[in-house]
């Protein structure tokens, strides 16, 4: 049998249709769910057992753990799901792959979900033509499902047919007589087949066909099943290559989880198979070791018991698994002086609606950077060591460069995703974030000017009076309170942010009132003692700068709440 260039294009096109369907479906779900997406996922993964159930149902529906794990990786990539939540879903996905084997073994056929594709397209078309955004998004979901199922069906049809080309795998009979080496060879074959087919469910179907022909026995079929658990991780790892560090950690967690399961299973492999054989004989089903017709049932039991056991053994160690992958893939974003933004990504996982959540996280991190930059100013005032003072000056200068660059990167990212199809709510959130990003950059500029003022003051050997110092630190305290409320508003809903607006206005009014109060006091102080003119000059500049930061913070709070958006 030959496999020409046209056959390769057919295979590649089928895989592309599958991936495009997944992308279309995912974007449609995001647009349809909108702000509810986070709460929906939180409910589905509220605890580790709910996450396992979610993964099981998802994989049972799409008949591909590869598809479901890629979805999970994309959710983690967008910040919609935490790494801890994703591990539970991945465990459930492994259990979900067992349903295919039972359908084949008990019913003698594979559930043909692709038959739903054309009716789904029929449902989606009028919805896509509907002018209402919600209906349009729902139509996109149905269309994505249809394309995904069609892609899976074409993918299965574009690989060589075993029944009409049995010679392709008949050579496997010659590989069964090498003991433990045969087990490893068939484990590798299972891995390779799953990588090629992009579905462990499809590989299970092929394994049962090979056992049915009598080319391989129960032991070697079980080894192929183990190999599927490695092969199914490849798709998620490939998808994560274009994702952020959180997506890569999720894919790695999937790999580590499956490898741990295979290691302990290989240690008791013969014993485990003997127990299944004993169980089946005891219940009158026949021995899969001796009766080839019983191998499909035996493999279904093996596949199910293995995945259930592996999940129950490791479900209590999820936090340690998370720590392991976080240690293996550390985040550069832990340092503010990072060369690239932490949550943004490109490529296949770069989905417009999800990118809104990514942008929210990055904008908040940008705001935390500005807050940290502001707190260098009080440190400069109390610092007496010349070298340490200069180190802080250099830090502020470096942070100012970072804020300029980050503001450009965030704005560029927001403009890029605004060109894509977005829900009206998402488009409004983008406008808010662009304003917030601009205001945060202004805060960075003001902080840099304040550090320059303090550097000039030090050169002129001018000192603040105790009263001026006390007033400055009182002003810093007010501004820090405003910062804390702003950062809190970035984590709550728009409704909660609006409820906090009166408090934000009150804080800004307090900053303005304190500025007016100390400014009048400084004038009186200068009239009493002219020697304080220089210190009063620098004092006023710092107080005025703090008031400007207060104005910027109020603008940010209003933007978050959807008020006064230009």
Long-range contacts for 338-342 (Cβ within 8 Å, ≥24 apart)? 340/409, 341/406, 341/409, 341/410, 341/413, 342/244, 342/245
CA dihedral 482, 487, 491, 492 (to 10 degrees): 10
Determine the Cα–Cα distance for residues 250 and 54; give it in Å rounded to an integer.
Answer: 16
Give me the tens of pLDDT residue by residue for the chain, a chain 566 residues long.
556 778 778 877 876 787 677 667 767 766 676 555 555 566 666 677 888 888 887 777 655 566 667 667 767 765 667 778 888 888 888 788 777 667 656 655 444 556 778 888 898 889 888 878 778 888 888 888 788 777 767 766 665 554 455 455 555 655 656 667 777 888 888 888 777 766 666 677 677 767 766 667 788 888 888 888 888 777 677 767 656 677 788 888 888 988 998 999 888 888 888 888 888 888 888 888 877 778 878 888 888 888 899 888 888 888 888 888 888 888 655 443 443 455 554 444 445 555 677 677 788 888 999 999 999 999 999 888 888 999 999 999 988 888 888 888 888 877 777 666 666 677 777 888 888 888 999 999 999 999 999 999 989 888 888 888 899 999 999 999 999 999 999 888 888 888 999 999 999 999 999 998 888 777 776 666 665 678 888 888 999 999 999 999 999 999 888 876 54
Determine the Cα–Cα distance for residues 288 and 472; give it in Å rounded to an integer.
Answer: 82
Label each residue of 144-164 as H, E or C.
HHHHHHHHHHHHHHHCCCCCC
Overall pTM > 0.85: no
Q: Return the closest-CA partner of residue 63 out of 145, 178, 182.
A: 145
- Say how many Å lie between the first and final Cα of the chain, rounded: 66
Helices (runs of H) and strands (runs of E) counted in the chain: 24, 0
Place of tokens 């998808």: 239
Backbone angles phi, psi at 198, to 5 degrees: 60, 25
The structure tokens listed for 458 are 């030090």
Where in the chain are the domains? 5-330, 357-560
DSSP secondary structure, 121-139, as one string: HHHHHHHHH-SSHHHHHHH
The structure tokens listed for 98 are 């067992």
DSSP-assigned letter for residue 104: I
Let me know if domain 357-560 sits in CATH 1.20.58.220: yes
Determine the Cα–Cα distance for residues 250 and 325; give it in Å rounded to an integer.
Answer: 8
């Amino acid at each position: 049998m030959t496999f020409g260039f046209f056959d390769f294009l057919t295979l590649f096109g089928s895989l592309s249709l599958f991936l495009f369907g997944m992308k279309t479906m995912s974007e449609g779900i995001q647009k349809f769910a909108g702000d509810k997406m986070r709460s929906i996922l939180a409910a589905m993964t509220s605890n580790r057992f709910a996450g396992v159930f979610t993964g099981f149902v998802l994989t049972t529906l799409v008949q591909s753990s590869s598809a479901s794990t890629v979805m999970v990786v994309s959710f983690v990539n967008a910040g919609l799901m935490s790494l801890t939540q994703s591990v539970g879903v991945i465990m459930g996905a492994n259990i979900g792959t067992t349903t295919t084997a039972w359908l084949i073994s008990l019913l003698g056929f594979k559930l043909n979900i692709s038959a739903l594709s054309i009716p789904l397209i029929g449902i989606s078309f009028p919805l896509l033509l509907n002018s209402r955004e919600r209906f349009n998004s729902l139509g996109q979901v149905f269309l994505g499902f249809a394309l995904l199922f069609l892609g899976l069906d074409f993918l299965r049809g574009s690989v060589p047919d075993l029944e009409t080309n049995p010679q392709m795998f008949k050579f496997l009979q010659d590989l069964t007589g090498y003991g433990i080496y045969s087990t490893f060879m068939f484990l590798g074959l299972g891995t390779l087949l799953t990588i090629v087919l992009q579905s462990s469910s499809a590989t299970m179907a092929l394994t049962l066909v090979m056992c049915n022909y009598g080319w391989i026995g129960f032991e070697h079929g079980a080894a192929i099943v183990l190999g599927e658990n490695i092969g199914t991780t490849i798709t998620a790892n490939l998808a994560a290559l274009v994702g952020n560090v959180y997506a890569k950690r999720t894919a790695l967690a999937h790999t580590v989880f499956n490898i741990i399961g295979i290691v302990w299973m290989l240690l008791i492999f013969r014993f485990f198979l003997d127990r299944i054989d004993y169980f089946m004989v005891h219940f009158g089903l026949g021995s899969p070791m001796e009766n080839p017709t019983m191998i499909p049932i035996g493999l279904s039991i093996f596949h199910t018991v293995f995945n259930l056991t592996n999940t129950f053994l490791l479900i209590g160690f999820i936090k340690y698994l998370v720590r392991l992958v976080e240690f293996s893939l550390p985040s550069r974003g832990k340092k503010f002086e990072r060369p690239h933004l932490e949550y943004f990504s490109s490529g296949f996982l770069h989905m417009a609606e999800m990118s809104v959540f990514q942008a929210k996280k990055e904008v908040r991190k940008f705001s935390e950077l500005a807050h940290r930059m502001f707190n260098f100013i009080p440190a400069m005032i109390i610092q007496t060591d010349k070298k340490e003072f200069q180190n802080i000056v250099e830090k502020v200068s470096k942070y100012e460069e970072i804020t300029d660059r980050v503001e450009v990167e965030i704005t560029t990212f927001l403009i890029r995703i605004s060109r894509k199809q977005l829900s009206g709510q998402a488009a409004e959130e983008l406008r808010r974030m662009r304003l917030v990003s601009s205001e945060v950059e202004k805060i960075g500029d003001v902080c840099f000017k304040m550090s320059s003022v303090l550097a000039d003051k030090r050169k002129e050997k001018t000192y603040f009076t105790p009263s001026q110092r006390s007033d400055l630190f009182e002003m810093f305290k007010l501004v820090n309170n405003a910062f804390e409320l702003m950062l809190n508003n970035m984590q709550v809903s728009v409704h909660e942010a609006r409820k906090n607006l009166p408090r934000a206005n009150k804080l800004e009014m307090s900053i303005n009132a304190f500025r007016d109060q100390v400014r009048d006091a400084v004038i009186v102080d200068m009239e009493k003692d002219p020697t304080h003119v220089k210190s009063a000059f620098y004092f006023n500049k710092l107080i005025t700068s703090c008031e400007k930061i207060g104005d910027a913070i109020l603008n940010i709070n209003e933007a978050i709440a959807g008020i006064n958006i230009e």
